[in-house]
């Protein structure tokens, strides 16, 4: 079962169509400290709900480690 913060982060990441968000932007949006945001991001990664990769944040556009919703590749 996911924590309330993790559920809020997952809902937030689903609204970003063009990519993901860095831990700082996630923390600001959800209203938690960066450390709590990182813990919840780790919780979502462990649950295979999101993945993290280096890229431009969909909000601040800084190149950082970005959390994105995991979507399986389409079978062609």
The rounded distance, in Å, linking the Cα atoms of 25 and 47 is 21
The rounded distance, in Å, linking the Cα atoms of 63 and 52 is 13
Q: What is the pLDDT of residue 29?
A: 94
Q: CATH number of the domain that 53 lies in?
A: 1.10.10.10
pLDDT over 90 at 72, yes or no: no
Rg (CA), the chain: 12
Question: pLDDT band at residue 76, thresholds of 50, 70 and 90?
Answer: low
Number of structural domains the chain divides into: 1
CB atoms within 10 A of CB 57: 21
The answer to whether position 75 is within a domain reads no
Q: What is the pLDDT of residue 74?
A: 65
User: pLDDT, tens digit, for every residue of 8-51?
Assistant: 999 999 998 777 999 999 999 999 999 999 999 999 999 999 99
Rounded to two decimals, what is the model's pTM? 0.87
The answer to whether position 76 is within a domain reads no
């Amino acid at each position: 079962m996911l924590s309330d913060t993790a559920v809020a982060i997952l809902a937030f990441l689903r609204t970003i169509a063009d990519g993901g968000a860095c831990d700082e932007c996630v923390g600001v949006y959800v209203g938690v400290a960066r450390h709590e945001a990182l813990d919840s991001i780790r919780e979502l990664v462990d649950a295979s709900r999101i993945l993290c990769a280096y890229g431009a944040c969909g909000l601040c556009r800084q190149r950082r480690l970005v959390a994105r919703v995991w979507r399986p590749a389409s079978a062609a």
